[in-house]
Amino acid sequence: MMLAPSVIEELRRAVGKEFVIDSSNDLRIFERDASIEGCAPDAVVLPANVAEVSAVIKIASKNRIPVVARGAGTGLSGGAVTIRGGIALQVTRMRRILEIDPVAQTALVEPGVVNQELSLVAATHKLFYAPDPSSQKACTIGGNAAENSGGPHCLYYGVTTNHVLGMEVVLADGSVHWVGGDAPDRVGLDLCGVLVGSEGTLCAITKVKVRLLRTPPSVATLLAAFPTIEAASQAVSAVIGHGIVPAALEMMDSVTVGAVEAHYHAGYPTDAGAVLLVEVDGIAESTLELMTAIRKVLADHHGYAMREAQSPAERDLLWAGRKGAIGALGRIKPNYYLHDGVVPRSRLPQILSAVGEIGVHYKLPVANVFHAGDGNLHPNILFDLRDREVLPQVESAGEEMLRAVVELGGALSGEHGIGLEKSAFMPWVFSEDDLDAMKLVKHALDAHGIMNPGKIFPDPERKMPHLAGRTGLAIEAKWW
Amino acid sequence: MTTQPFARLNDDDLATCVHCGLCLDACPTFRQTGLETESPRGRIYLMTQWKRGGLPFTEDQARHIDLCLGCRTCEAVCPSGVPYGRIIEAGRSEVEHIRRPTPKRWLARTALRQLLAKPRRLRTAGAVTRAAQKVGLTSLVRSGRQLPALRPRFQPPAGGIAPAIGPRKHRVAFLVGCVMPILYPQSHEAAVKLLQLAGCEVWFPRAERCCGALLAHNGDLDGAERLRDVNMQVYRDSNFEALIVDSAGCGAHLKDFYPELEGRVKDLSEWLVDVGLPTPAGEVTMRVTYQDACHLAHAQRIKKQPRDLIRSIPGVELVEMRHPDICCGAAGLYSTLEPAMSARILQEKLDDVLSTRAEVVVTGNPGCQMQLESGLRSRGSTMRVEHVAELVVRAFLH
Ligand SMILES: Cc1cc2nc3c(=O)[nH]c(=O)nc-3n(C[C@H](O)[C@H](O)[C@H](O)COP(=O)(O)OP(=O)(O)OC[C@H]3O[C@@H](n4cnc5c(N)ncnc54)[C@H](O)[C@@H]3O)c2cc1C
Ligand code: SF4
Ligand code: SF4
């Protein structure tokens, strides 16, 4: 669907000529996020402020054009993909940190501010922003709020929604609202809670007020090797079973460790079956005490080659390896497909062996790198899109893994959102009634369904899931 | 000459990009525009589509390739090991084959080829600019950035050898290059002095030409190959431990483009930290900040050594800016060919540099030096720009 020239004209008037892109070739460059879905928008619009966002959404509303907000496009579930065409509302020009209040420990930021940039600036006040998705050097605070993103340190500190105090949002009719407030306790209906994690389907976020925390005086980071991934999973359960909640507790299997070492040279043991990265923070005495306890539990569960970071630089390097892990898998195969299902921690050994078996069955390499502490899996199925035969296999393997998660009492997504990739699976965990309740909210806020259509809710029109048959991939496959 | 469209772009290189987007905010042009089309991921996607026939080549979209600085910051942060430097050079070279060159690009390329291939012409050009400068015509160079005040050209010592100071421990060759000896002779002089102090006998190969970096970065791979052939004849049968380069752009190019020199090309700071300098004789009381030259930090992954050298001087206080490793917008001919984007990037860099309140900003590449000098001048700042070697050598001049 092409947008009428009059609509393009209106959009140009709203944001300025150079901030509307409608050349079909250029639009193709915006067809994907970090997942493997793809479909080009009909226009990319780059507003500079809330007034322009509102104007754009009013135009879209009047003409019933889909609007899909887009931050950095690092989403892993196809959330920013304009599957029904329409307007990609790229918020990356809105990247100012408007205010940092070191006393109240809050920051007010525009949605395009990059997560790591906020941390850098907060650090000058000895503060930090806790949710730290592994994509933090590129992903935006707006995208984080929309996905209710997590990160390694969310085990202890909680995910994005625990750190968003309030937001300025534009609804589907172009109206501008503040939700939430300055204090962590929300009175009245918790609209902020509803809108965080709504994946762009209810509103466009134009400002976010977040809570900042004091940088802990002491941090200890430990890397431990394990002979097998099962042993490592058992160790994870044991640590938590001892009543210890580390700031972060991450696992990587041997496939991942190999890829990561090749880029970061962080000294990860490449002979191990799996490694755990554990971090504790607080005052010096307590981190020392906790770390001693953790070391003992890990050793009791076959942990070896334990190495504690001796300097901030070494700690950064250990973390760089973990945070770059998914990208580093490109060294093995050019494409990955992953679902981020969550299981109860005690089920980790079972789910990991199920995942392993599924990989073997489909003869597909699988790399596990995940937030073990909260049972949030990331089994990356590795493949090469240029090999068309393999696509149905990848898709079936992914679906089976997710089914195994649900059968073990788990959830569809820990942090990457439902987006496009998992919408068809929603009925596995939600009853018709549950889904209807969600749809009522959606309808109340977006009666014409222009906000990020085709996401979250199962789409009766699309025979899902059929990766190979989906728009973007079909195009890509045709190029071969 | 290539016949197949985009034959120079290697599909396996392109396929290493997993489209994760982790490189986006490292890219200066993405930071300025917020546009996927001006990001590394977008550019790789575009070139992939060109290569695979998914998108037709258009002049409009070639703009996205033109706007790439070639700073390779994306390459340094990419966890997937995408060889972006190789991809963009190949992509540029294809673009230059296909499209009608604009007069500006044609001029730039022809002039470059002629000048760099024949050092004597460069000297004449240098003399012309120098004359122009004397009569106050610096604006003759219409690049928006001015040339530094010219000093007498760098002259290698008679006999082409500078002896080690103290016992000779190493024998190294030195890249005199094309631009440095004319624009920044003082950097070369300082570099050679430091090498001598570190016990190196420094050899200046007489028949050595420009390394070809500027050509390669601007899509003229054929021209660059010709220069390499000439230079390799000089290097091939000579006996030296390392070829020392004090200009980051040249060092990066030599490391990538001269496989026969494998392991022997060394940036000055890399080499000096390796072999060690004597204990400095004096103190240098100075507040400095360090700007990573892209082709040092990203292409060669050298960030630590220059800082180690700076910190080794008693009295020097090194204050880091917030983003020392983001490009200043110089990028070879970029500031001439894409003045508008270059200026935007420079302004952000200047804010960052000035916020350190340093007296001197130190860097390791002539292009960055020129860009920063002209930027600081335009802001009316008195902050000076120096090559790492110039700063470090002060400690030994007492
Ligand atoms: C290598 C890698 C590692 C990752 N690690 C993690 C991790 O550890 N934890 C985690 O949770 N996620 C992770 N992710 C996923 C992803 O980075 C997060 O979901 C992130 O929050 C997306 O931010 P973005 O700016 O890229 O958003 P986009 O991808 O651009 O958009 C994501 C969704 O948010 C919506 N959206 C974006 N901006 C707005 C806005 N202003 N208003 C309304 N809706 C908006 C979009 O419509 C879309 O539905 C990872 C991704 C990669 C590639
Ligand atoms: S170039 Fe590297 S970092 Fe950037 S999108 Fe591709 S794989 Fe990711
Ligand atoms: S080389 Fe520099 S300008 Fe070009 S894409 Fe990479 S980071 Fe961006």
Whole-angstrom distance, CA of residue B338 vs CA of residue B342: 6
Of A56, A90, A124, the residue that ends a domain is: A90
Q: In a 10 Å sphere around its CB, with 0-12 CB exposed, 13-18 middle and 19+ buried, how is residue A7 labelled?
A: buried
Name the domain count of chain A: 4
Whole-angstrom distance, CA of residue B319 vs CA of residue B345: 21
Contact B25 A26 (CB under 8 A): no
* Among the bound ligands, the one closest to the CA of A72: 1
Whole-angstrom distance, CA of residue B158 vs CA of residue A46: 61
SS (H, E, C) chain A: CCCCHHHHHHHHHHHCHHHEECCHHHHHCCCCCCCCCCCCCCEEECCCCHHHHHHHHHHHHHHCCCEEEECCCCCCCCCCCCCCCCEEEECCCCCCEEEEECCCCEEEECCCCEHHHHHHHHHCCCEECCCCCCCCCCCEHHHHHHHCCCCCCHHHHCCHHHCEEEEEEECCCCCEEEEECCCCCCCCCCHHHHHCCCCCCCCEEEEEEEECEECCCEEEEEEEEECCHHHHHHHHHHHHHCCCCCCEEEEEEHHHHHHHHHHHCCCCCCCCCEEEEEEEEECHHHHHHHHHHHHHHHHHCCCEEEEECCCHHHHHHHHHHHHCHHHHHHHCCCEEEECCCECCHHHHHHHHHHHHHHHHHCCCCEEEEEEHHHCECCEEEEECCCCHHHHHHHHHHHHHHHHHHHHCCCECCCCCCCCCCCHHHHHHHCCHHHHHHHHHHHHHHCCCCCECCCCCCCCCCCCCCCHHHCHHHHHHHHCC
> Are A202 and A290 contained in the same domain?
no
Whole-angstrom distance, CA of residue A480 vs CA of residue A471: 15
Q: Is the dihedral of CA A442, A443, A444, A447 positive or negative?
A: positive
* Dihedral pair phi/psi, residue B361, rounded to 5°: -105, 130
Please tell me the predicted confidence (pLDDT) of residue A468.
44
> Is the pLDDT assigned to residue A105 strictly greater than 50?
yes
> Are A450 and A474 contained in the same domain?
yes
> Are A253 and A381 contained in the same domain?
no
Which candidate in A22, A24, A26 is best for mutational testing of the B interface (most B CBs within 10 A)?
A26
Q: What are B116-165's pLDDT values in tens digits?
A: 655 555 555 555 555 444 444 343 344 445 566 667 888 888 889 999 99
Whole-angstrom distance, CA of residue A42 vs CA of residue A26: 10
* Among the bound ligands, the one closest to the CA of B45: 2
Tell me, what CATH number does A275's domain have? 3.30.70.2190
Of A23, A55, A90, the residue that ends a domain is: A90
Q: What are A27-82's pLDDT values in tens digits?
A: 999 999 999 889 999 999 999 999 999 999 999 999 999 999 999 999 999 999 99
Percent of chain B with pLDDT over 70: 89
* Among the bound ligands, the one closest to the CA of B73: 3
Contact A23 B60 (CB under 8 A): yes
Whole-angstrom distance, CA of residue A38 vs CA of residue B19: 12
Which residues of B touch chain A, with CB atoms under 8 Å apart? 15-26, 30, 33-37, 41-42, 45-46, 49, 52-56, 58, 60-61, 64, 77-82, 322
Percent of chain A with pLDDT over 70: 95
pLDDT band at A135 (very low <50, low <70, confident <90, very high): very high
How wide is the angle at C-alpha B146 spanned by C-alphas B144 and B148, nearest 5°?
160
Q: What are A217-261's pLDDT values in tens digits?
A: 999 999 999 999 999 999 999 999 999 999 999 999 999 999 999
Please tell me the predicted confidence (pLDDT) of residue A404.
94
Q: Which of A371, A367, A407, A454 is nearest to A155 (CA)?
A: A371
Cα B39 to averaged position of ligand 3 atoms, centre (Å): 7
Q: In a 10 Å sphere around its CB, with 0-12 CB exposed, 13-18 middle and 19+ buried, how is residue A80 labelled?
A: buried
- Which residues on chain B are in Cβ contact (under 8 Å) with A264? 79
Cα B30 to averaged position of ligand 3 atoms, centre (Å): 8
Cα A265 to averaged position of ligand 2 atoms, centre (Å): 18
Nearest CB to A324 within list B33, B54, B79: B79
Domain interval for residue A285: 218-328
Q: How far is B127 from chain A (nearest CA, A)?
A: 43
Please tell me the predicted confidence (pLDDT) of residue B43.
98
**For atom 8 of ligand 3, which residue has the closest CA?**
B27
Contact A262 B37 (CB under 8 A): no
User: Which mutation among A37, A39, A76 tests ligand 1's pocket best, with the greatest number of atoms within 8 A of CB?
Assistant: A76
CB neighbours of residue A269 within 10 Å: 18
Question: What mean pLDDT comes out for the span B51-63?
Answer: 94
CB–CB of B217/B89 below 8 Å? yes
- Which residues, listed in sequence order, are joined to residue A337 by a DSSP beta bridge? A381
DSSP B379: T
Question: What mean pLDDT comes out for the span A347-359?
Answer: 93
> Are A339 and A447 contained in the same domain?
yes
Whole-angstrom distance, CA of residue A427 vs CA of residue A459: 11
> Are A189 and A229 contained in the same domain?
no
- Which residues on chain A are in Cβ contact (under 8 Å) with B78? 327
DSSP B292: P
Contact A34 B19 (CB under 8 A): yes
Among all residues of chain A, which has the CA nearest to that of B15? A334
Cα B69 to averaged position of ligand 3 atoms, centre (Å): 6
Residue A203 CA: nearest ligand 1 atom is 43
Among all residues of chain A, which has the CA nearest to that of B13? A334
* Dihedral pair phi/psi, residue A317, rounded to 5°: -65, -45
Rounded to the nearest integer, the mean pLDDT of chain B is 88
Please tell me the predicted confidence (pLDDT) of residue B140.
36
**For atom 7 of ligand 3, which residue has the closest CA?**
B27
Of A42, A73, A90, the residue that ends a domain is: A90
Please tell me the predicted confidence (pLDDT) of residue B129.
54
Q: How far is A88 from chain B (nearest CA, A)?
A: 11
Question: What mean pLDDT comes out for the span A138-151?
Answer: 97
* Among the bound ligands, the one closest to the CA of B326: 3
Tell me, what CATH number does A50's domain have? 3.30.43.10
Which is it for strands A67-70 and A43-45: parallel, antiparallel or unpaired?
unpaired
> Are A397 and A460 contained in the same domain?
yes
> Are A315 and A351 contained in the same domain?
no
Whole-angstrom distance, CA of residue B6 vs CA of residue A435: 50
Buried b (16+ CB within 10 A) or exposed e, A39-70: bbbbbbbbbeebebbbbbbbbbbeeebbbbbb
Tell me, what CATH number does A173's domain have? 3.30.465.10
> Are A289 and A359 contained in the same domain?
no
Q: Which of A186-190, B179-183, B351-355 has the lowest mean pLDDT?
A: A186-190
Sequence-separated (6 or more) residues with CB below 8 Å from residue A81: A31, A32, A33, A35, A37, A38, A39, A68, A419, A420, A472
- What DSSP line would sit under B145-181, residue for residue? SPPPPP-PPP-PPGGGEEPPSSS--EEEEE---SSHH
Evaluate: CB of B72 within 6 angstroms of ligand 3: yes
- Which residues on chain B are in Cβ contact (under 8 Å) with A90? 34-36
**For atom 8 of ligand 2, which residue has the closest CA?**
B20
Please tell me the predicted confidence (pLDDT) of residue A23.
95
The ipTM is 0.91
> Is the pLDDT assigned to residue A400 strictly greater than 80?
yes
Residue B26 CA: nearest ligand 3 atom is 7
Whole-angstrom distance, CA of residue B26 vs CA of residue B21: 10
> Is the pLDDT assigned to residue B398 strictly greater than 70?
no
How wide is the angle at C-alpha B250 spanned by C-alphas B248 and B256, nearest 5°?
100
- Which residues on chain B are in Cβ contact (under 8 Å) with A384? 15
Residue B84 CA: nearest ligand 2 atom is 1
Residue A34 CA: nearest ligand 2 atom is 5
- Which residues, listed in sequence order, are joined to residue A383 by a DSSP beta bridge? A335
Cα B43 to averaged position of ligand 1 atoms, centre (Å): 21
Among all residues of chain B, which has the CA nearest to that of A75? B20
Cα A163 to averaged position of ligand 1 atoms, centre (Å): 16
CB–CB of A257/A325 below 8 Å? no
Q: How far, rounded to the nearest angstrom, does the alpha carbon of residue A238 sit from its chain's CA centroid?
A: 27
Tell me, what CATH number does A357's domain have? 3.30.70.2740
* Dihedral pair phi/psi, residue A336, rounded to 5°: -130, 155
Residue B72 CA: nearest ligand 3 atom is 1
- Which residues, listed in sequence order, are joined to residue B289 by a DSSP beta bridge? B361
> Are A445 and A472 contained in the same domain?
yes
Domains of chain B (ranges, CATH numbers): 11-98 (1.10.1060.10), 286-394 (3.40.50.10700)
Please tell me the predicted confidence (pLDDT) of residue B232.
93
Give the binding-site residues of ligand 2, using a 6 Å CB cut-off.
A 327, 330; B 17-23, 40-41, 44, 74, 78, 80, 82
Contact A326 B82 (CB under 8 A): no
CB neighbours of residue A94 within 10 Å: 25
> Are A165 and A290 contained in the same domain?
no
Sequence-separated (6 or more) residues with CB below 8 Å from residue B269: B296, B302, B305, B306, B308, B309, B364, B388
Q: How far is CA A180 from CA A112, A154, A440, B178, B351, in A?
A: 20, 21, 21, 61, 35
* Among the bound ligands, the one closest to the CA of B44: 2
Whole-angstrom distance, CA of residue A214 vs CA of residue A461: 49
| Residue whose pair of structure tokens reads 């067809």 in the numeric block | A31
Q: How far is A137 from chain B (nearest CA, A)?
A: 6
Q: How far is B25 from chain A (nearest CA, A)?
A: 5
Q: What are A7-33's pLDDT values in tens digits?
A: 999 999 999 999 999 999 999 999 999
Q: Which of A53, A110, A59, A112 is nearest to A86 (CA)?
A: A59
Nearest CB to A90 within list B34, B49, B79: B34
Q: How far is A299 from chain B (nearest CA, A)?
A: 31
CB–CB of B214/B334 below 8 Å? no
> Are A67 and A115 contained in the same domain?
no
> Are A269 and A146 contained in the same domain?
no
CB–CB of B73/B26 below 8 Å? yes
pLDDT band at A184 (very low <50, low <70, confident <90, very high): low
Question: What mean pLDDT comes out for the span A393-398?
Answer: 92
Q: What are B332-372's pLDDT values in tens digits?
A: 788 888 999 999 999 999 999 999 999 999 999 999 999 99
User: Which mutation among B45, B80, B86 tests ligand 2's pocket best, with the greatest number of atoms within 8 A of CB?
Assistant: B80
Question: What mean pLDDT comes out for the span B319-333?
Answer: 92
- Which residues on chain A are in Cβ contact (under 8 Å) with B82? 330
Evaluate: CB of A172 within 6 angstroms of ligand 1: no
